[in-house]
């Protein structure tokens, strides 16, 4: 009978086994601790975020299906004011909320971290997020978020984020989809954006090299954009193509240029305008442009509009920004009734007495109020008192329109003198100055309209008559 013998295990095998087991235990412990640490940090961040005392409100916007959420901090040590849109689409809402929550957490964590490391300093910071909304072809909405954040005495950093959204299909679309994923269209588009940036005299100290790099034909470089009925707006973050102190840069690409490059579903039907037949109008056709300054007025402007409607007369309203802000619905009524909206500055100053910066501020603030009220820019500009210079006219990015007949309605305040003043000065292609803030002007307007209609004059806007004005 064969006996069974067991070979004795060497000591080096035991050592290897023990070492391997200890190493495995060490790895497990390491990852467990790391995971617990990350979980703790994440829980702390969530707790910090949820514990902030803030007031959240909801209100309707002027856009169908869009609501506005405002989240404002009540904690003076962690101030923030956040504004963002909500729709009936929960998926889109979640996407927006994820962006807002992430920005809010980053801000709160950065603030608290610096407070721990710099306990003896008086620290301050702020987070502000607001958005602008643009509508295109009724169903497309562009949401442009501007985020300004400073944490504990750091310089304010401004960043932009955009969403292009189809409210009917609940889809978020990008520039690639907009241009039909056509690389040739992208190349044409990028080249045009580059040219617009380099030729824009309002943009100072642009780096040619940075502009070239930022406008290469790459989809990702044009991911921040918005669309209105007139333009596609491309945004570049601060410091991308210009010094940081200039802030974010934007450039408008006209839809008339862009339309052929768009994917078919985004194209607008372009209206073909027949070229004028030479000799058809020799300038003898009787035209008149009625203009009204210094409005809108809650009562007088409405009465003026009703009188114009009775004679199917079109006019141009040169509006003050400080009045548009109070009566935006009347400004919109002016546009909806087919009239032209002009910019007449914010506060009616004598422009030659102002600095260039002050002049442009008067124009720009009024322009912003007009766009907010009617959804589009003004088309013409009138300097208060008609006081201007060639240098000022060159600064203003609009046709500058004065007048050829001053009714002095602002001086006489007499309805009967209004029509007589027009009769005494009337000539073809006249631009008549009146003011839609005086009740006497509204009362005397029917007489003016009746006289001009009987004389065979066609009522046109300033933009329509300017080619015929010497």
Same-domain status, 292 and 423: yes
- Rounded Cα distance between 364 and 240, Å, is 24
Integer angstrom CA distances of residue 78 from 14, 73, 105, 273? 60, 7, 11, 57
Residue 52 covered by a domain: no
- Same structural domain for residues 441 and 341? yes
Question: Do 393 and 381 form a contact (C-beta atoms < 8 A)?
Answer: no
DSSP E strands in 296-370: the ranges are 316-319, 340-343
Confirm if 142 and 164 have CB atoms less than 8 A apart.
yes
The answer as to whether 421 is a domain residue is yes
Looking at residue 210, which CATH number applies to its domain?
A: 3.90.640.20
Q: 173, 165 in Cβ contact below 8 A?
A: yes
**Structural domain contains residue 62:** yes
**293 catalytically annotated:** yes
pLDDT in tens, the chain (470 residues): 344 443 445 566 666 566 666 667 765 655 554 454 444 344 444 444 455 777 899 998 888 899 999 999 888 788 899 999 999 999 999 999 999 999 999 998 888 887 766 665 666 788 999 999 999 888 999 999 999 998 877 788 999 999 999 999 999 999 999 999 999 889 888 888 888 888 777 777 788 889 999 999 999 999 999 998 778 999 999 988 888 888 899 998 887 678 778 888 887 644 333 334 344 455 578 999 999 999 999 999 999 999 999 999 999 999 999 999 999 999 999 999 999 999 999 999 889 888 999 999 999 999 999 999 999 999 999 999 888 898 999 999 999 999 999 999 988 899 999 999 999 999 999 999 999 999 999 999 999 999 999 999 999 999 999 998 85
What totals of helices (H) and strands (E) does the chain contain, helices first? 15, 18
Distance CA 164, CA 226 (A): 7
**Which residue, of 173, 202, 236, is where some domain finishes?**
173
Residue 43 maps to a domain: no
| The two structure tokens encoding residue 316 | 């141009």
Burial status of residue 176 (CB atoms within 10 A of its CB: 0-12, 13-18, 19 or more): middle
Which residue is listed with tokens 């309605």? 409
Would you state the structure tokens that stand for residue 117, as one six-digit string?
């490391």
pLDDT given for residue 17 in this prediction: 63
Q: Identify whether residues 208 and 318 lie together within a single domain.
A: no
Q: Tell whether 425 is covered by a domain.
A: yes
CATH code of the domain in which 99 resides: 3.30.565.40
Using DSSP's 3-state secondary structure scheme, residue 86 falls into strand
Together in a domain, 89 and 208: no
Angle (CA) 91-97-98 rounded to 5° is 90
Both 360 and 445 in a single domain? yes
Same domain, 294 and 416: yes
5 inside domain: no
Q: What is the pLDDT of residue 281?
A: 54
Please say whether the dihedral angle defined by the alpha carbons of residues 82, 84, 88 and 93, taken in this order, is positive or negative.
negative
Residue 203 to residue 197: CA distance in whole angstroms: 8
Q: Report yes or no on 393 lying in a domain.
A: yes
Which residue is listed with tokens 């921040």?
224
- The last residue of a domain, from among 231, 266, 301: 266
Let me know the angle formed at the C-alpha of 312 by 311 and 314, rounded to the nearest 5 degrees.
Answer: 110
Q: Does residue 297 sit in the same domain as residue 432?
A: yes
Q: What is the DSSP string of 387-452?
A: ---HHHHHHSSSEE---SEE--HHHH--HHHHHHHHHHH--TTEEEEEETT-HHHHHHHHHHHHHH
Question: Is 223 one of the annotated active-site residues of the chain?
Answer: no
Q: What per-residue confidence (pLDDT) applies to 127?
A: 92
Looking at 297, 339, 344, 435, which residue is catalytic?
Answer: 435
- Single out the residue in 150, 173, 196 at which a domain terminates: 173
What per-residue confidence (pLDDT) applies to 164?
Answer: 96
Total residues found in the chain within this entry: 470
Specify the CATH number for the domain of residue 413.
3.20.20.370
* Of the candidates 103, 48, 87, 245, the residue with the CA atom closest to the CA atom of residue 170: 87
Among residues 153, 155, 173, 154, the alpha carbon closest in space to that of 163 is found at 173
The phi and psi torsions of 430 (rounded to 5 degrees) equal -80, 145
Instruction: Kindly give the interhelix angle for 11-51 and 90-117, rounded to the nearest 10 degrees.
Output: 100
| 217 and 361 housed in the same domain | no
Contact residues for 269 (Cβ-Cβ < 8 A; gap 6+):
none
Q: Which of 312, 180, 197 is nearest to 246 (CA)?
A: 197
Task: Show the tokens assigned to 131.
Answer: 């958005």
Domain extent for 236: 176-266
Instruction: Determine the Cα–Cα distance for residues 143 and 226; give it in Å rounded to an integer.
Output: 7
325 lies in the same domain as 360: yes
Neighbouring CB atoms inside 10 A of 297's CB total 21
DSSP state of 428: T
Residues 344 and 316 sit within 8 Å (Cβ to Cβ): no
Cα angle vertex 247, ends 246, 249, to 5°? Answer: 95
Q: Hey, is 7 helix, strand or coil?
A: coil
Same domain (yes/no): 235, 91: no
Do 317 and 452 reside in the same domain of the chain?
Answer: yes
- Which CA distances in Å does 427 have to 34, 136, 279, 285, 416? 87, 42, 22, 12, 20
Please say whether the beta carbons of 345 and 380 come within 8 A: no
List 293, 294, 409, 436, catalytic entry: 293
CB distance 354 to 362 below 8 Å: yes
Looking at the fold, whether 187 and 159 belong to one and the same domain comes out as no
Instruction: Please tell me the distance from the alpha carbon of residue 466 to that of residue 365, in angstroms, as a whole number.
Output: 26
Domain tally, the chain: 3
- 423 CB contacts (<8 Å, ≥6 apart)? 451
In a domain, 4, yes or no: no
């Amino acid at each position: 009978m064969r006996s069974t013998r067991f070979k004795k295990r060497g000591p080096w095998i035991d050592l290897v086994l023990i070492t391997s087991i200890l190493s495995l235990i060490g790895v497990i412990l390491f990852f467990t601790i790391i995971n617990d640490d990350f979980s703790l940090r994440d829980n702390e961040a969530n707790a910090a975020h949820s514990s902030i005392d803030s007031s959240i409100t909801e209100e309707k916007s002027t856009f169908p299906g869009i609501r506005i959420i405002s989240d404002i901090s009540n904690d003076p040590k962690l101030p923030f004011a956040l504004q963002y849109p909500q729709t009936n689409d929960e998926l889109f809402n979640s996407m927006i909320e994820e962006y807002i929550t992430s920005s809010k957490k980053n801000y709160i964590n950065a603030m608290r971290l610096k407070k721990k490391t710099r306990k003896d300093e008086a620290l301050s910071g702020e987070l502000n997020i607001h958005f602008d909304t643009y509508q295109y072809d009724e169903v497309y909405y562009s949401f442009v978020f501007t985020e300004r954040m400073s944490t504990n005495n750091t310089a304010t950093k401004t960043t932009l984020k955009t969403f292009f959204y189809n409210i009917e299909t609940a889809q978020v679309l990008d520039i690639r989809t907009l241009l039909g994923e056509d690389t040739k269209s992208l190349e044409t588009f990028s080249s045009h954006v580059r040219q617009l940036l380099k030729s824009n005299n309002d943009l100072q100290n642009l780096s040619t090299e940075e502009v070239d790099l930022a406008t290469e034909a790459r989809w990702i470089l044009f991911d921040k954009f918005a669309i209105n009925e007139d333009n596609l707006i491309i945004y570049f973050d601060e410091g991308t193509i210009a010094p940081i102190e200039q802030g974010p840069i934007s450039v408008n690409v006209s839809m008339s240029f862009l339309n052929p490059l768009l994917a078919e579903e985004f194209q607008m039907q372009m209206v073909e305008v027949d070229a004028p037949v030479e000799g058809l109008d020799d300038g003898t056709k009787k035209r008149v442009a009625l203009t009204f300054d210094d409005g809108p007025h809650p009562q007088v402007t409405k009465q003026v509009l009703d009188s114009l409607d009775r004679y199917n007369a079109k006019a141009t309203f040169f509006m003050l920004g400080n009045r548009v802000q109070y009566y935006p619905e009347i400004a919109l009524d002016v546009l909806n009734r087919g009239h032209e909206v002009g910019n007449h500055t914010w506060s009616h100053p004598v422009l030659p007495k102002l600095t260039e910066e002050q002049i442009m501020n008067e124009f720009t603030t009024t322009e912003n109020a007009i766009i907010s009220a009617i959804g589009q820019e003004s088309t013409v500009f009138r300097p208060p008192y008609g006081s201007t210079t060639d240098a000022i006219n060159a600064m203003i990015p609009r046709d500058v329109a004065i007048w050829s007949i001053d009714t002095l309605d602002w001086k006489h305040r007499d309805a009967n003198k209004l029509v007589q003043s027009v009769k005494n000065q009337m000539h073809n292609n006249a631009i008549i100055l009146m003011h839609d803030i005086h009740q006497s002007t509204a009362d005397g307007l029917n007489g003016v309209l009746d006289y001009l209609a009987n004389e065979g004059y066609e009522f046109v806007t300033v933009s329509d008559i300017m080619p015929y004005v010497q």
